[in-house]
């Protein structure tokens, strides 16, 4: 296999607004990230992915970009970003920008111009339609508000509707219009020329709109089912041409990495997006395991991992992750943040870092930050949570029940500030934080974790270091042993000259360790475990709750 730096790399995701504030305005900033680059280097990560840090009204946490060429002044503006790039590179840390290519903010100059008149040069950057019988052009729902609001908004000035798959303040860009594509490519080249090392493409499967959209009479209403309707709008014929063109115009000849955020993508499609000879994306970030509103059973996770391993086996590549700025904290959702917080945090880390793909760490995960439980909707900020709350309460549901229902999946679980220590506001800010902190910060914070003997952070450090010393960690084929076992994971990662064995007890119960009979473990040496373990695998009988161990076999 050709060696690419991003296959070996560990990516660390930063939600800047909640990372570290240095000027006391209650918002994280780039100086805060610069100050913590030595910390990230100490952790061992190779690459940072920034959630959008462009100027934005923040209707949707920055995914509503108002100026694609700028950096939010509240974060320090372009000078701070350039300094950050320089500092990160000095530490051999690469930097990925979030590219929001499906939509812009309605405050973006392009849209401000476009809405002025039908013949404005920017008009076709967006998707406009006449009303049909005085109503929206079709019944499409936007993705906020659980599919209960229209994807069309009427604009008085020109008496036409514009399309917005997300918030009404995030009009969709018209990829069919070549000058728009050219504008985007120019902008992406501008960031790469500045020294950025790659991109994460936000909701890219939706950039190609359904056929017929351009002629209003052809637009058949999509099924009302929200998820179904959404899937029908993703990965449509023609998207590969766009991605290939973008690759040619922006990425070709550069040593950069791209990862496409692909909800509604299956492994077969992922292969077609990421196999090197396709020249589209380098890797795909799928949502099959971190599904919304449901916690998968360990066996389901195992099955899905195997299903997605087809991508790796067929020359494609994926990201491995369990939490991000849109999903609950992984130790709360997939682990046990009550009785086995540290053990399960470490076990999940081993899982993500030992299966084929590039592992992603979301800020705070590295010492086991947990979900938050706010008592009032006014403490929530997430557009999904607030929008859905509004819709459901207006539809007559009991406000308390609605809050209860929305809490576990609220995106604010991941967006509360980083808990650096147990001082006021967890050391995040000296001002008033933009969102409340998780009140558990006195107990769970980085400083305390580092002082403890069973530090989660130190465990991550060792795990990441292993990726550097053991080629099989990133380049080995996966062989799942005991595939039907419900909670025990036992698998090999193997290259021509090295072999690792990974054992996980994905449960809160103590189990008996049963290894496959034909597995020869007499020479196995322990590389890492989240319990104090005897070195010899032969002597082991018990498998402790959330135990995780990596052995070297050859």
Distance CA 374, CA 93 (A): 35
| Binding status of residue 202 toward ligand GLC by CB under 6 A | yes
Instruction: Considering only the stretches 57-65, 111-119, 229-237, 543-551, report the one whose residues sit in contact with ligand GLC under the rule CB under 6 A.
Output: 57-65
Instruction: Considering only the stretches 16-24, 59-67, 357-365, 540-548, report the one whose residues sit in contact with ligand GLC under the rule CB under 6 A.
Output: 59-67
| Binding status of residue 60 toward ligand GLC by CB under 6 A | yes
Nearest CA among 65, 234, 219, 223 for reference residue 129: 219
CB of 198 to ligand GLC, least distance (A): 17
Helix H or strand E encompassing 35: helix 30-35
Q: x/- contact string, 207-246, with ligand GLC (CB under 6 A)?
A: ----------------------------------------
Q: Of the listed 60, 64, 172, 261, which one is catalytic? A: 261
Does residue 261 carry a catalytic annotation? yes
Does residue 74 carry a catalytic annotation? no
Task: Supply the Cα-derived Rg of the chain in whole angstroms.
Answer: 24
| Binding status of residue 412 toward ligand GLC by CB under 6 A | no
Residues that contact ligand GLC, how many (by CB under 6 A): 10
| Binding status of residue 166 toward ligand GLC by CB under 6 A | yes
Distance CA 357, CA 9 (A): 9
Pairing label, strands 11-14, 358-362: parallel
Of the residues 33, 88, 101, 203, which one makes contact with ligand GLC according to CB under 6 A = 203
Distance CA 155, CA 269 (A): 36
295-327 b/e (C-beta count within 10 Å ≥ 16 → b): ebebbebbebbeebbebbeeebbbbbbbbbbbb
Helix, strand, coil % over all residues of the chain, rounded to 5: 40, 15, 45
CB of 301 to ligand GLC, least distance (A): 21
Helix H or strand E encompassing 500: strand 499-505
Question: Could you say which residues in the range 254-313 bind ligand GLC, by CB under 6 A?
Answer: 261
Q: x/- contact string, 82-121, with ligand GLC (CB under 6 A)?
A: ------------------x---------------------
13-38 b/e (C-beta count within 10 Å ≥ 16 → b): bbbbbbbbbbeeebbbbbbbbbebbe
Residue closer to ligand GLC (CB basis): 330 or 530: 330
Distance CA 1, CA 222 (A): 42
| Binding status of residue 63 toward ligand GLC by CB under 6 A | yes
CB of 100 to ligand GLC, least distance (A): 6
Q: Of the listed 202, 288, 365, 412, which one is catalytic? A: 202
Residue where the block lists tokens 């080629």: 471
Of the residues 106, 326, 494, 547, which one makes contact with ligand GLC according to CB under 6 A = 326
Q: Which residues are catalytic?
A: 202, 261
Residues forming the site for ligand GLC (CB under 6 A) = 60-61, 63, 100, 166, 202-203, 261, 325-326
């Amino acid at each position: 296999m050709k060696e690419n730096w991003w296959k070996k790399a560990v990516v660390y995701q930063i939600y800047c607004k909640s990372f570290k504030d240095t000027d006391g305005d209650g918002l994280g900033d780039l100086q805060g990230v610069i100050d913590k680059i030595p910390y990230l280097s100490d952790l061992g990560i190779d690459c940072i992915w920034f959630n959008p840090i462009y100027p934005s009204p923040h209707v949707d946490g920055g995914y509503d970009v108002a100026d694609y060429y700028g950096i939010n002044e509240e974060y320090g503006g372009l000078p701070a970003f350039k300094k950050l790039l320089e500092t990160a590179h000095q530490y051999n840390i690469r930097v990925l920008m979030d590219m929001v290519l499906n939509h812009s903010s309605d405050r973006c100059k392009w849209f401000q111009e476009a809405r002025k008149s039908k013949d404005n040069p920017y008009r076709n950057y967006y998707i406009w339609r006449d009303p049909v019988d005085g109503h929206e052009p079709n019944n499409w729902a936007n993705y906020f508000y659980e599919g209960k609001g229209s994807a069309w908004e009427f604009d008085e000035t020109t008496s036409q509707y514009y399309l917005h798959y997300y918030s009404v303040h995030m009009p969709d860009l018209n990829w069919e219009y070549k000058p728009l594509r050219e504008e985007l490519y120019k902008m992406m080249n501008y960031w790469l020329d500045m020294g950025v090392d790659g991109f994460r493409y936000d909701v890219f499967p939706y950039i190609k709109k359904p056929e017929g959209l351009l002629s209003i009479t052809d637009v058949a209403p999509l099924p009302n089912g929200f998820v179904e309707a959404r899937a029908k709008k993703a990965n449509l014929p023609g998207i590969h041409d766009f991605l290939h063109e973008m690759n040619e115009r922006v990425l070709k000849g550069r040593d950069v990495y791209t990862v496409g955020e692909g909800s509604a993508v299956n492994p077969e499609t992922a292969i077609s997006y990421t196999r090197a000879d396709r020249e589209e994306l380098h890797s795909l970030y799928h949502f099959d395991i971190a599904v919304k509103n449901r916690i998968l059973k360990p066996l389901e996770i195992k099955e899905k991992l195997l299903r997605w391993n087809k991508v790796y086996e067929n020359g494609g590549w994926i990201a491995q992750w369990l939490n991000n700025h849109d999903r609950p904290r992984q130790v709360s959702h997939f682990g046990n943040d009550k009785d086995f917080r540290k053990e399960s945090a470490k076990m999940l880390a081993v899982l993500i870092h030992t299966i084929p793909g590039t592992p992603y760490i979301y800020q705070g995960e590295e010492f086991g930050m947990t979900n938050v439980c706010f008592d009032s909707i006014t403490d929530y900020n997430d557009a999904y949570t607030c929008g859905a709350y509004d819709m459901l309460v207006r539809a007559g549901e009991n406000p308390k029940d609605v809050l209860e229902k929305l809490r576990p999946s609220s995106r604010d679980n991941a967006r509360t500030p980083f808990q650096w220590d147990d001082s006021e506001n967890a050391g995040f800010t000296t001002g008033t934080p933009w969102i409340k902190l998780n009140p558990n910060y006195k107990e769970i914070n980085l400083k305390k974790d580092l002082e403890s003997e069973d530090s989660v952070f130190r465990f991550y450090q060792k795990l990441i270091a292993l990726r550097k010393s053991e080629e099989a960690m990133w380049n080995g084929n996966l062989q799942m042993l005991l595939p039907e076992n419900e909670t025990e994971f036992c698998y090999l990662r193997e290259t021509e000259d090295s072999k690792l064995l990974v054992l996980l007890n994905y449960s809160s119960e103590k189990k008996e360790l049963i290894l496959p009979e034909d597995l020869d473990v007499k020479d196995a040496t322990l590389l890492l475990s989240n319990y104090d373990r005897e070195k010899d695998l032969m002597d082991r009988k018990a498998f402790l709750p959330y135990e995780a161990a990596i052995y070297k076999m050859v």
